[in-house]
Structure 1
Amino acid sequence: MTRNEKYDRRRRRERRDFLRGFPLTLFDGPGLAVKLPFAALYPLGAVWVWNQQEQAVALAQGSDLISPVLRLILENIFPAYLIIGGAALLILLCYPIGRKAAEEELHRVGLVNHAGEAPALLRKRRDETYPNITIWEFDNRGIPLNEWEDKRTSVETALDLNIAKMKYSKGKRRVLLYAAPARAGLPDMLPWKDKYLSQESFVLVLGESLLGPVTVNLANIPHILLGGSTGSGKSVLLKLLLMQAIHKGAAVCIADFKGGVDFPAAWRETCRMCFEEQDLLNVLTGLVEELKRRKRDFSEAGCPDIDRYNRATGKSLERLIFACDEVAEVLDRTGADSEQKKLLGQIENRLATIARLGRAFGIHLIIATQRPDANIIPGQIKNNMDFRVCGRADSVLSQIILDNTSAADQIPKDARGRFITGDGTVFQGYLFDEEQL
């Protein structure tokens, strides 16, 4: 390709980018404050030029050294100002501030297509729902969304942003980045307040992301898997969820095989606690029997789930939640004899039944573990844990929990209480004071 061909190609691309962005950037929120003074100066300039018309005409007619083009402009200075100044103002309003800089920064971090072109910024605007979020809209130049995701941390560094979400727009030709300035990131600690408790039926609140509160509705997503390395804060998050479930009237059973030190007296007075394998098997057997009873009762009442059953019959069946802190202490077969392996097999079988059938009958699992690989949590259980949350982790652990490495890529190594969900939402978990129980 010759030099002239490259130049022509670049000019065509710039015109195409401008036309694609027009008139979207006329009301470009983040840049509007910078552009408004120029818009205000335009009518003031028009008044000044109107008053200078006679002098301009006299200058044009009194000098032989002025070119014909300049003479024509001076003789018609007011309409020339309206046309040329108006065109310049329109270009200013339509051109997003920082477009060239953004393109250069993305090119610098290697986010380019096969032709070496970086995405073009079309506009920036405030998110109507989340005022602290700015939506950056790019023409992706044929770069698929998964490549944006792979270079997420590089894009954040290049543009000095914290990206809350990425998604396609206008089919797949544009990519939207929902982002906040890097200095406006998540706090290191968020104390829990009772006002955060959701008023919706069985919606539990986990923490706050850049896009607001992160929640899970057990009526729709019945089971939760919490993972992360030691000290990541998963036990605190587990207690936060259980506290809310208790406030909403659920019956909670907790299996803790770390000696019970993480659950002081207040929990033992409120919840059913299990510290031994045989006791755990008895509890899970009781839950499975209750599941079968509810299955029979719901079928006779013609109701598909617990909420409709309660409304139709006037009863108030409570939701049942089984929680296990560090399930590896329960299910790890390393060093177990044949009798103990048989016992663990029965426990797994009960957990698998609840994982498969629990949603409709209001029986839920919330399991926390450091490493939920196949040796600890069988696939028949893990595959039914639809809502997964991971704290600080390496790439291997993140892959096991979330089926991707996003926890290793997006959560700082020294973070505590910082988590990421399976859909890529990073949030700071609320810090729950157990005295509030």
Structure 2
Amino acid sequence: MKTITFYQKKPGVFRFMGWLSYGITPWLAPLILPLAIISDRSTAGAISFISYSSIAIISTFPDSRKAVHSVHQLFWGQFRHHLLSRQVSKRLRETLLHAGLVKKEHREITGSEGRTRRQEILHYPCAQIHKDKVNIYIQFKMIPGQTEQEWERKVNAFAHSLGSSLISFQISRGIVEITLQYGEIKANSVTYKTDTDHNLALGYATGGKLTWDFEHFPHALIIGPTGTGKSTFIRNLLVQLRSEWIVKVADGKQVEFTHLQDLGFDVATDTSGFIRLVEEAQTEVDQRFKTMETQRKNHYSQINEKPYFLVIDEAIYLLEALSTKKDKETGQSERERILGLLRDISLRGRAAGVQLIMIFQRPDSTFMPTVIRDNLTAKIVLGGSETALEMAFGRDKSKQLDSVTLGHGYACIGDGRIELFRFPDYAQSKFLDDLEQQRSSVAIQ
């Protein structure tokens, strides 16, 4: 990650010339050094000629040409970085000024001739700027007297001025943190799990693979409206679930994952099947807790149990289909009972190793009580509206987030920051072939 200098005033020509001189140092040195060290100009000129000729000869060989190019880039790159700092600083100064986030001070200046003139002095917020291959990270220190509302209304202006997309925006104790994406995240290859660690790759972020440690951050909420690549994303997750782990799938659409039945997966495609899977998962939680209590253990791995995943695709369709008629004996409707079981799994599932992955096409608080949503600690939004982002991340964290293109999403693991990620394109046919191959290899072993 590189640091970009923020110039509160336009750098002068001498600073520009200084950095330019530094940038061409490798090419000036053979000329200037001999003249500075040797008094005889003829000898100095001859040495310079020999030096330049040697460089020219060395550059004809591929291996040595790389070394010459590397030396050039080492110095010239610093000059180019200075130009980038000037450009970014200029745009940020203009944005701050036009957004009204600059403090203006007027002073009376008396010249040498005794004339008084009024001078305007601009005070810009202090800033720290960093960049990597994809994002620009800007941290401003608010000028005393400024409010959060002033910055919130203008934050998108920074993304527009730098030709970027707004990834995250946060204000805390007078510090404004803005993350902007200017580059493209690469996501070329599907992740196939070869280890036994309890984590899954969600995709690729700026620092490499973005992983979900489901051991420490249990349960996942995934929101993906139609056309956001939700099915592709789920395939990228399912292919990583190891064959020795327990995987149950409730397919609300009845078309997306029913074919997994042919590969030995327990898949429910109707309401009764959905109820069965939820009841079985909650029973599993109870049984594991009883075993842990008997053996005086506090974690499912200590009683030789494996991770258990209940994947509920199109959860709203399934929940909507449940009866809302109150039972005379229990006073609960079928929907309330199932939501109660899901609530229990979300609360106690971590220690028992029973994981919920709940997938929604649209956010709806009616079918996602707050207590369940808050316990789904890995939250992912693919595309999505402002409502979807707010439901997943909360109003404060989701402020000003830009919508994302196909194949991208936002993820927040636990109480961490929201990260933009990209997941590979993964065709249905390839997914099924991979699963079949995995199952076959396990059977052979």
**Residues 37-68 of structure 1: CA deviation (Å, up to 9, x unaligned):** 255558965764677999xxxxxxxxxxxxxx
How many pairs were matched up? 356
Name the residue aligned to 1:250.
Answer: 245
State the distance in 1 between where 2:246 and 2:300 align: 14
Name the residue aligned to 1:27.
Answer: none
State the distance in 1 between where 2:134 and 2:407 align: 22
**Of residues 153, 160, 163 in structure 2, which corresponds to 1:160?**
163
Name the residue aligned to 2:280.
Answer: 286
State the distance in 1 between where 2:195 and 2:143 align: 44
**Of residues 90, 95, 98 in structure 2, which corresponds to 1:106?**
95
State the distance in 2 between where 1:42 and 1:430 align: 49
Name the residue aligned to 2:406.
Answer: 416
Residues 42 and 383 (structure 1), Cα distance of their counterparts in 2 relative to 1, 3 Å cut: same
Larger CA deviation: 286-295 vs 157-166: 157-166
1:416 is paired with a residue of what secondary structure? coil
**Of residues 187, 190, 194 in structure 2, which corresponds to 1:193?**
190
Name the residue aligned to 2:230.
Answer: 234
One-letter identity of the residue aligned with 2:368: I
Name the residue aligned to 1:319.
Answer: 307
Q: Where does 1:144-155 land on structure 2 (aligned, <5 Å)?
A: 151-155=154-158
**Of residues 323, 328, 331 in structure 1, which corresponds to 2:319?**
331
**Residues 309-355 of structure 1: CA deviation (Å, up to 9, x unaligned):** 05xxxx3x121111111111122279855569822222111111101
Check if 1:262 corresponds to 2:256: yes
Shift of 1:236: 2.5
**Of residues 292, 300, 312 in structure 2, which corresponds to 1:306?**
300
Shift of 1:381: 1.4
State the distance in 1 between where 2:40 and 2:147 align: 55
**Of residues 119, 134, 151 in structure 1, which corresponds to 2:125?**
119
Shift of 1:363: 0.1
**Residues 196-243 of structure 1: CA deviation (Å, up to 9, x unaligned):** x37361111111122321111110111100013222122332232222
State the distance in 2 between where 1:272 and 1:397 align: 30
1:426 is paired with a residue of what secondary structure? strand
State the distance in 2 between where 1:350 and 1:42 align: 76
Check if 1:224 corresponds to 2:220: yes
Shift of 1:97: 3.9
**Residues 72-94 of structure 1: CA deviation (Å, up to 9, x unaligned):** xxxxxxxxxxxxxxxxx9xx98x
Check if 1:389 corresponds to 2:380: yes
Contact 2:134 2:184 in 1 (8 A): no
The alignment-based identity, stated in percent, is: 17
Task: Please tell me the root mean square deviation across aligned C-alpha atoms, in Å.
Answer: 4.3
State the distance in 2 between where 1:157 and 1:198 align: 42
State the distance in 2 between where 1:33 and 1:202 align: 50
Unaligned 5+ residue runs, structure 2?
A: 1-6, 12-17, 42-77, 105-121, 436-445
Residues 395 and 236 (structure 1), Cα distance of their counterparts in 2 relative to 1, 3 Å cut: same
Structure 2 length normalisation: TM-score?
0.66
Residues 117 and 389 (structure 1), Cα distance of their counterparts in 2 relative to 1, 3 Å cut: farther
Contact 2:327 2:333 in 1 (8 A): yes
Contact 1:256 1:274 in 2 (8 A): yes
Name the residue aligned to 2:360.
Answer: 369
Larger CA deviation: 159-168 vs 275-284: 159-168
Check if 1:36 corresponds to 2:22: yes
Residues 394 and 186 (structure 1), Cα distance of their counterparts in 2 relative to 1, 3 Å cut: same
Name the residue aligned to 1:83.
Answer: none
**Residues 130-184 of structure 1: CA deviation (Å, up to 9, x unaligned):** x66666565554578897676554322212345666789xx9687676666x2x2
State the distance in 2 between where 1:371 and 1:172 align: 34
Shift of 1:253: 0.8
Contact 2:168 2:400 in 1 (8 A): no
State the distance in 1 between where 2:335 and 2:370 align: 15
One-letter identity of the residue aligned with 2:402: Q
Residues 426 and 328 (structure 1), Cα distance of their counterparts in 2 relative to 1, 3 Å cut: same
State the distance in 2 between where 1:271 and 1:150 align: 50
State the distance in 1 between where 2:399 and 2:267 align: 31
Contact 2:92 2:161 in 1 (8 A): no
State the distance in 1 between where 2:196 and 2:20 align: 42
Residues 173 and 261 (structure 1), Cα distance of their counterparts in 2 relative to 1, 3 Å cut: closer
Contact 1:238 1:366 in 2 (8 A): no
Contact 2:309 2:355 in 1 (8 A): yes
Unaligned 5+ residue runs, structure 1?
A: 1-12, 19-31, 55-88
